[in-house]
Amino acid sequence: MLKSIGQGLGNETSRLILRRLGEALITLLLASALSFAIMQLAPGNYLDNLKADPQISLERLQELERQFGLDKSPVEQYFRWLWQIIRYGNFGTSFVYQRSVASLLWERVPATLLLSLSSILLTWGLAIPLGIWAAVTQDRWSDRLLRVISYIGQGFPSFITALLLLFLAQSTPLFPVGGMTSLFYDELPWWGKVLDIGWHLILPTVALTLTSFAGLQRLMRGNLLDVLRQNYIQTARAKGLPESRVIYVHALRNAVNPLITLLGFEFASLLSGAFIAEFFFNWPGLGRLILQAVTAQDIYVVMASLMMGAVMLIVGNLLADLLLRWADPRIQH
């Protein structure tokens, strides 16, 4: 019987994944068309910035226009770009860097992933235990202190936090002002390189963590308090179960479900959520590259970054659904 149930769940999971993959293709196609249309609504194009340079001749501008396909209609540009992706896996060439967009993005992805993952691990590693502690010690001094900290954290704009940490770095020799590595990075042994990157990673990670920690901690506290008031929790206590088992086995399992859904969105923001920290701390990630691409109207870099974000959102939602199914088998998709 257990074997047949397991096979049934496995088949349902496979069908869920296949259905989501089909939906993902349609979503990506619609998202790419909408993104390209919005990009075309901006006045002018990349070549308008070059026309102001008297050293660039009209012939050179016409040559670049043909090279980048900007002499074609927006509809033709979009379908040429889409056909290149389908047939060759080619996301186009960057106007600014004159390089493949894929290679340009993949150079920046590791730095952004490192910063985003470290921030998510620190945020969730602090917010979940502290949220549980605040719920268990409701209205005591520890709960009130955490509530004050969360209110302050939510009221502080992320760029203000980054500026304060940057001021701290400039005022003390404890932390580097910016960048990902030191000037003498290439001379260090492998373990020294790891420590050097970790040293530069501290302040950007703290800047990202402080802006998201407060809300997550309050959400964990509120969910757990709601579950602890349910009748089945009161019944478990009446049966004489240990309080630790009531909280960490029965209550926590149901209280964590909304957070699993939120984790899917956190996964989606891995490649885009570190923008402010990257900008202020000169971190060589995707955020600064995308900002430069938007400013210069480097269409194919912007389009590729938007598609990466859409893929991460789809994958994040799928992972959240699978985790919810694992955490609570009662959930039917």
**Pair of tokens at residue 249:** 């086995």
Residue 3 pLDDT more than 50?
Answer: no
pLDDT (tens digit, 9 = 90+) per residue, 107-164?
888 888 888 888 888 988 888 899 889 888 888 888 888 888 888 877 777 778 888 8
What are the tokens at 29? 């196609």
What average pLDDT score do residues 275-294 get?
Answer: 83
Q: Is residue 49 over pLDDT 80?
A: no
Average pLDDT, integer, range 208-233 = 85
What would the pLDDT profile of 189-198 be if each residue is shown by its tens digit? Answer: 888 888 989 9
Q: Which residue has the higher pLDDT, 318 or 270?
A: 318
Q: Give residue 330's pLDDT band: very low, low, confident or very high (50, 70, 90).
A: low
Residue ranges of domains in the chain, CATH in brackets: 105-293 (1.10.3720.10)
Q: In this model, does residue 240 exceed pLDDT 60?
A: yes
Confidence at residue 5, expressed as pLDDT on a 0 to 100 scale: 42
Average pLDDT in the 167-183 region?
83
- Of the ranges 155-169, 194-208, 297-311, which one carries the lowest mean pLDDT score? 155-169
Q: What is the pTM of this model?
A: 0.80
Amino acid identity at 296: A
Q: What is the 3-state secondary structure (H, E, C) of the chain?
A: CHHHHHHHHHHHHHHHHHHHHHHHHHHHHHHHHHHHHHHHHCCCCCHHHHHCCCCCCHHHHHHHHHHHCCCCCHHHHHHHHHHHHHHHCCCCECCCCCCEHHHHHHHHHHHHHHHHHHHHHHHHHHHHHHHHHHHHCCCCHHHHHHHHHHHHHHHCCHHHHHHHHHHHHHHCCCCCCCCCCCCCHHHCCHHHHHHHHHHHHHHHHHHHHHHHHHHHHHHHHHHHHHHHCCHHHHHHHHCCCCHHHHHHHHHHHHHCHHHHHHHHHHHHCCCCCCHHHHHHCCCCCHHHHHHHHHHHCCHHHHHHHHHHHHHHHHHHHHHHHHHHHHHCCCCCC
Look at residues 67, 107, 54 and name the one whose alpha carbon lies nearest to residue 301. 107
Going by pLDDT thresholds of 50, 70 and 90, the confidence category of residue 329 is: low
Model confidence at 1: pLDDT above 60: no
Q: How does residue 180 score in pLDDT terms, banded at 50, 70 and 90?
A: confident
Which pLDDT band, with edges at 50, 70 and 90, does 327 fall under? low
CB 208 within 8 A of CB 273: yes
The overall average pLDDT reported for the chain is 81
Q: φ, ψ for residue 93 (rounded to 5)? A: -115, 135
Q: How far apart, in whole angstroms, are the C-alpha atoms of residue 16 and residue 332?
A: 10
pLDDT tens, position by position, 23-48: 888 888 888 888 888 888 877 778 87
pLDDT of residue 2: 38
Distance set, CA 170 to CA 180, 208, 280 (Å): 16, 19, 13
Euclidean distance between CA atoms 218 and 134, whole angstroms: 9
| The residue type at 206 | V
pLDDT of residue 24: 83
For the cut 80, the answer to whether the pLDDT of residue 264 exceeds it is no
pLDDT of residue 4: 46
